[in-house]
Copies of this chain bind each other. A is one copy, B any other.
Amino acid sequence: MDLYEYQGKELFRRFGIPVSDGRLALSPEDARQAAQELGGAVVVKAQVHAGGRGKAGGIKLAASPSEAEARAADILGMDIRGHVVHRLWVEKASEIEREYYLSVTFDRGEKKPLFMLTTEGGVDIEELAATSPEKLARLHVDPLVGFHPFQARWLCFAAGIREPAEQKQVIAIVGKLYETFVSCEAMLCEINPLIVTPAGEVRALDAKVTIDDNALYRHPDLAELRDLAAADVQEQRAREKGLAYVKLDGDIGILGNGAGLVMSTLDVVAQAGGRPANFCDIGGGAQADVVVGALEVITADPVKAILFNIFGGITRGGEVARGLLEALERIGIDVPVVVRLDGTEAEEGRRLLAESSPANVHVESTMLSAAERVVELAR
């Protein structure tokens, strides 16, 4: 789960990482009010889960409340890389002397948390890592032993931060960021930029925090943020049904069991010349009702045909067929449904479908032929 900047900053504040004062605004009036309360110049920032907000015009300076209102009106409703702006964060404008970059994330290869710090702030970190790795201080933390202050000191020295007062603040922020990372079970905590003001104060000017979905049950306070953060109502509905669902931009609904198989199904449909409308994984061991729910979700997208690709292990073909038949009856699906059933109890499933033989259900015996058939039927 990705947090919005303002949610991430609220977390930072809770863990003692300095951030600027600000207010959430849902309307231009809110923004005016926020600017008034904050006093002085403010920055109006679009709250969307997309990079490059600044370049896209989603971040504007405003010298007065009325200017803040006008900028908010400009930004609200903007489409930034497919994300419509519904929320703004209005915060006190900061004077910036220098911009750094600091993050802690999962190093999936090393299986350890990885800190990265550079004084080349504001840049693309992947690019920096590729072109000037010597400018990027990297440090792994042993998750059993935890973080120790010497590591923060070493990061500072390695990144070339030597001014004592500044170093002291950065060291404290590194420690608190690790605490945030572990306490909130984050997959990523990124501050880009971490700024130094002309007065020498170090502060997080942005916040990018991703929380592990699997850990949310231990963090009801963070789980609540999800509902607010949910970019897509349909994705949320699918999640509530225990489905992994991703909206795509084509017209063929894709449903299968197991993330790898569904991804592969998208690939073969694309190879056959079709465009998937979504990705829907019913997971392992799904019962008929889950299949019904999944069909409800994917038919909420405008689909011309549906591909049903099941290779049962823990999932049983009979259950899947029963779910499909039930859904046809209950939801009234009239687009063609291509079904490919293999693995556990596949014969049983195929038998059930053959017995009932609904007009719009087409059974195929291989994944490739099923993909070709559904593309054909979607034309």
Q: Which chain A residues have a beta carbon within 8 Å of chain B's beta carbons?
A: 144-145
Nearest chain B CB to A117 CB, angstrom units = 26
Smallest Cβ-Cβ distance to A144: which chain B residue: B144
Interface of chain A, main secondary structure: loop
Copies of this chain present: 2
Give the top 2 A-B pairs by smallest Cβ distance, nearest first: A144-B144, A144-B145
Nearest chain B CB to A142 CB, angstrom units = 9
Residues of B within 8 A of A144 (CB): 144-145
The complex places the Cα of A144 from the Cα of B146 at a distance, in Å, of: 9
Residues of B within 8 A of A145 (CB): 144
The complex places the Cα of A144 from the Cα of B145 at a distance, in Å, of: 6
Nearest chain B CB to A50 CB, angstrom units = 38
Nearest chain B CB to A309 CB, angstrom units = 39
Nearest chain B CB to A147 CB, angstrom units = 13
Smallest Cβ-Cβ distance to A145: which chain B residue: B144
The complex places the Cα of A145 from the Cα of B144 at a distance, in Å, of: 6
Nearest chain B CB to A185 CB, angstrom units = 15
The complex places the Cα of A299 from the Cα of B36 at a distance, in Å, of: 68
A–B complex contacts, Cβ < 8 Å, 2 sampled: A144-B144, A144-B145
Smallest Cβ-Cβ distance to A142: which chain B residue: B144
The complex places the Cα of A212 from the Cα of B368 at a distance, in Å, of: 68
The complex places the Cα of A26 from the Cα of B330 at a distance, in Å, of: 73
Nearest chain B CB to A153 CB, angstrom units = 20
Nearest chain B CB to A183 CB, angstrom units = 14
Nearest chain B CB to A132 CB, angstrom units = 36
